[in-house]
Structure 1
Amino acid sequence: MSTISATNPTTPRTQSSSQSITSAVNQTLGKDDFLKLLTTEMRNQDPLQPMDNKDTIAQLAQFSSLEQMNNLATSVGDLKTSLTSFMQQSLLTQGSALIGKQVSGRDTDGVTVISGIVDSVQWLNGNPQLSLLQTDGSLKTLEMNQITDVSK
């Protein structure tokens, strides 16, 4: 594969400028750009010195690898989304099993003890929150990970 130089030929090339160019190219070039470069290279090759078959096969193998990595990245992203949703539903289900039970736990400060009967469960700020009915009729919230005692 031909090397594309993005530096000024009159300026000496340093390792740091080469690394920054490589980093920029890796961040901006995708599979469509790769195919465009490959077809442009094939279109503009010297007819008296055509590209070697080994080079063409190596470039096609690189393209195939790039395509597979993109597909894998998409699949991993989809899996992450599904697992996150599953975890949220699981935690809400666990919280709903506590409805009607006496629960105690420490508030976010770690000192104040909150106690009450679980009235409802809701998903807020990335965590399941229990709404506790206090003996005086007021409602307090407690995150599930702050529970220290469950009874009844």
Structure 2
Amino acid sequence: MAISPVSSSTSVNKQIDSLGLDMQSLLQIILTQLTYQDPLKPVDNFEFVSQLAQFTSLEQARQMTDKIDNLLSVQSATQTVSLLGRNVDVQTDTALLTGVVKSVSFANSQPQLTIETESGSFLTNANISQIVSVR
């Protein structure tokens, strides 16, 4: 029976920065640089450590940006859900409608509201940007 290797569950090796390189590729570049350096002019230790620190800093900044984006998405979802049962004024292409938010759904990470208007009809797939006021 063959045993498959355990893959790394960390997202560090799988995530790609804005240059299109993941951390593993950056470390491979440094290793190649050390392998083919001129023996008479080796890379200064300070420069080498400085490069590693820059790569690490770049990776941490990218991870922090991803986490902030996720936090903003969760905050937006929470704020949208808080509209349930609230009276809102919604601007449509034709008129300004007043109604109660009955449900919230998410399509492509964007909130879509279903609003029951004062006349008893339902406005579906309303966007947050269409809401003029909340009461």
- Quote the offset at 1:76 in angstroms: 1.9
- Quote the offset at 1:103 in angstroms: 0.8
Figure out how many residues of one structure are paired with residues of the other and give that number: 113
Distance in 1, Cα, partners of 2:100 & 2:32: 65
- Quote the offset at 1:69 in angstroms: 2.1
The answer to whether the Cα contact below 8 Å between 1:104 and 1:148 also exists between their aligned partners in 2 is yes
The answer to whether the Cα contact below 8 Å between 1:129 and 1:144 also exists between their aligned partners in 2 is yes
Q: Secondary structure at the match of 1:41?
A: coil
The answer to whether the Cα contact below 8 Å between 1:114 and 1:142 also exists between their aligned partners in 2 is no
**Structure number having the greater helix percentage:** 1
RMSD (CA atoms): 2.8
Q: Does 1:123 align with 2:106?
A: yes
Structure 1 residue aligned with 2:122: 138
The answer to whether the Cα contact below 8 Å between 2:26 and 2:55 also exists between their aligned partners in 1 is no
Question: For 2:73, which of 57, 71, 88 is the aligned residue?
Answer: 88
Output one character per residue of 1:82-101: Cα deviation in whole Å (capped at 9) or x when no partner.
Answer: 21221122122222222111
Structure 1: 5+ residue stretches without partners: 1-25
Structure 2: 5+ residue stretches without partners: 1-18
TM-aligned CA distance change 1:127 to 1:116, over 3 Å: same
Output one character per residue of 1:21-55: Cα deviation in whole Å (capped at 9) or x when no partner.
Answer: xxxxx98883422332323335xx4xxxx33xxx5
Output one character per residue of 1:84-121: Cα deviation in whole Å (capped at 9) or x when no partner.
Answer: 221122122222222111111223x5x54343210122
Distance in 2, Cα, partners of 1:74 & 1:33: 15
Residue 43 of structure 2 aligns to which amino acid in structure 1? T
Question: For 2:37, which of 35, 41, 62 is the aligned residue?
Answer: 41
Distance in 2, Cα, partners of 1:96 & 1:27: 36
Q: Secondary structure at the match of 2:99?
A: strand
Structure 1 residue aligned with 2:131: 147
Q: Does 1:62 align with 2:47?
A: yes
The answer to whether the Cα contact below 8 Å between 2:105 and 2:113 also exists between their aligned partners in 1 is yes
Q: Percent identity?
A: 20
Q: Secondary structure at the match of 2:33?
A: helix
Distance in 2, Cα, partners of 1:27 & 1:84: 19
